[in-house]
Amino acid sequence: MTSNVSWQELYTAAMLELDRTMLPSRIEAAQAAIRQAMEELVGNHKIGTGEETQAMADALRNLRTLQRVEFRISAPAASQGQPLAEG
């Protein structure tokens, strides 16, 4: 269960990160920890891990959504429907 606490802490830190310069590394660390925890579950052939696996899959999906939202917000104004100046 140690790995579960670790991925959950890293996931929470990524989801609550307000510093945009820190966000990419937080997301990457959380994703790596979640994938490692998933591999450990599969490798240990643990029974009854359906809820844990689902929580990890949900966390990965949420992190990907956070990445998409962050990249969209960081996009230049021209790509957000404002006309480009022609030269």
Residues of the chain with pLDDT under 50: 1-5, 78-80, 82-87
Domain boundaries of the chain, sorted by first residue: 1-11+38-74
pLDDT in tens, 19-40: 999 999 999 999 999 999 988 8
* 70 burial via Cβ count (<10 Å: 0-12, 13-18, 19+): middle
Question: Cβ(72)–Cβ(18) under 8 Å?
Answer: no
Nearest to 60 by CA among 40, 16, 30: 30
**Residue whose C-alpha is closest to residue 39's, from 25, 52, 24:** 52
